[in-house]
Chains A and B, each alone.
Chain A
Amino acid sequence: MDWGQILNNTASFMLSAETIGFMLAALGLSIHFGYAGLLNFGMAGFMAIGAYGYAISILSFGLPWWAAMGVSMLGAIVFAVVLGIPTLRLRADYLAIVTIAAAEIVRLLFQTQLFDRWTNSADGLGGYHASFRAANPLPTGTYGLGPWTYTETGWWARVFGLLLVALAVVLVWLLMRSPWGRVLKGIREDEDAVRSLGKNVFLYKMQALIIGGVLGALGGVVIALPSAVIPQYYLPSLTFFVWTALLLGGAATIFGPVLGSMLYWMLMAFLSGVLPAMAAEGWLPISTTQAGNLRFVVVGVALMLLVAFRPQGILGNKKEMTFVK
Chain B
Amino acid sequence: MSSDELAPAPHDDHEILVETQEVAPTHEIHATHDLATGPAAPGVSKKDPILVADHVSRSFGGIKAVDVEHLEIPRNAITALIGPNGAGKTTLFNLLSGFDQPDSGEWSFNGRSLAGIPAWKAARRGQVRTFQLTKVLQRLTVLESMKLGATGQTGERILASVLPFLWRAQEKAIETRALDLLRKFKLYDKRADYSASLSGGQRKLLEMARALMTEPEFVLLDEPMAGVNPALVQSLLDHVIDLKSEGMTVLFVEHDMHMVRHIADWVVVMAEGRIVAEGPPREVMMDPAVVDAYLGSHLDEDIGVITGRYDEEGNRIS
Contact = CB atoms under 8 A, between A and B. Distances in A.
B137 interface: yes
B137 A180 contact: no
Interface in B203-244: 207, 210-211, 213-214
Contacts of B156: 178-180, 182-183, 199
Contacts of B97: 196
B135 interface: yes
A230 interface: no
Contacts of B145: 186
Nearest to B194: A319
Interface string A284-324: 00000000000000000000000000000000000111100
Contacts of A178: 155-156, 161-162, 164, 167
Main secondary structure of the interface of A (DSSP, over half): helix
A180 B214 CA distance: 16
A197 B123 contact: yes
Interface stretch (A5-13, A132-140, A187-195, A221-229): A187-195
Nearest to B195: A189
Interface in A180-212: 180-183, 185-186, 188-190, 192-201, 207
A174 interface: yes
Given A179-B171, A193-B131, A198 B139 contact: no
A175 B99 contact: no
A114 interface: no
A321 B140 CA distance: 11
Q: Which of A171, A179, A195 has the most CB of B within 10 A?
A: A179
A309 B118 CA distance: 40
B274 interface: no
Contacts of B155: 178-180
A197 B161 contact: no
A224 B49 CA distance: 64
A198 B98 CA distance: 11
B158 A196 contact: no
Contact of B124 (A182, A192, A198, A320): A198
Interface string A223-254: 00000000000000000000000000000000
B144 interface: yes
B162 to A, nearest CB: 4
A91 interface: no
Contact of B167 (A179, A198, A321): A179
Nearest to A199: B120
Contacts of A200: 118, 120
B157 interface: yes
Contacts of B261: none
Contact of B99 (A195, A198, A319): A195
A188 B118 CA distance: 20
A196 B153 contact: no
Interface string B133-156: 001111110001101110101111
A185 B128 contact: no
Nearest to B166: A178
Number of chain A interface residues as a range:
20 to 34
A186 B140 contact: yes
Contacts of A322: 139
B52 interface: no
Contact of A197 (B136, B139, B148, B158): B148
B58 interface: no
B82 interface: no
B262 interface: no
A240 to B, nearest CB: 24
Q: Which of A171, A188, A195, A322 has the most CB of B within 10 A?
A: A195
Contacts of B140: 182, 185-186, 189
Interface in B96-135: 97, 99, 118-121, 123-124, 128-131, 135
A189 to B, nearest CB: 4
Interface string B169-183: 001000000000000
Contacts of B158: 175, 180, 207
A109 B151 CA distance: 44
Given A192-B135, A193-B135, A195-B99, A181 B148 contact: no
B139 A189 contact: yes
Nearest to B148: A186
A117 interface: no
A182 B162 contact: no
Q: Which of B138, B207, B210 has the most CB of A within 10 A?
A: B138
B148 A182 contact: yes
A190 B196 CA distance: 12
Nearest to B137: A189
B214 A197 contact: yes
Contact of A179 (B130, B147, B214): B147
A179 B155 CA distance: 5
A278 to B, nearest CB: 42
B161 A195 contact: no
Interface of B: 97, 99, 118-121, 123-124, 128-131, 135-140, 144-145, 147-149, 151, 153-158, 161-162, 164, 167, 171, 194, 196, 207, 210-211, 213-214
23 contacts: A178-B164, A178-B167, A179-B154, A179-B171, A180-B157, A180-B161, A181-B161, A182-B144, A185-B139, A186-B140, A186-B148, A189-B139, A190-B135, A192-B99, A194-B148, A195-B123, A196-B99, A196-B119, A197-B211, A198-B214, A201-B120, A207-B158, A319-B196
Given A179-B171, A182-B148, A188-B139, 18 more contacts: A178-B156, A179-B161, A189-B139, A190-B135, A190-B137, A192-B99, A193-B131, A195-B119, A195-B123, A196-B128, A197-B120, A197-B151, A198-B120, A198-B121, A198-B151, A199-B156, A319-B194, A320-B139
Interface of A: 171, 174-175, 177-183, 185-186, 188-190, 192-201, 207, 319-322, 325
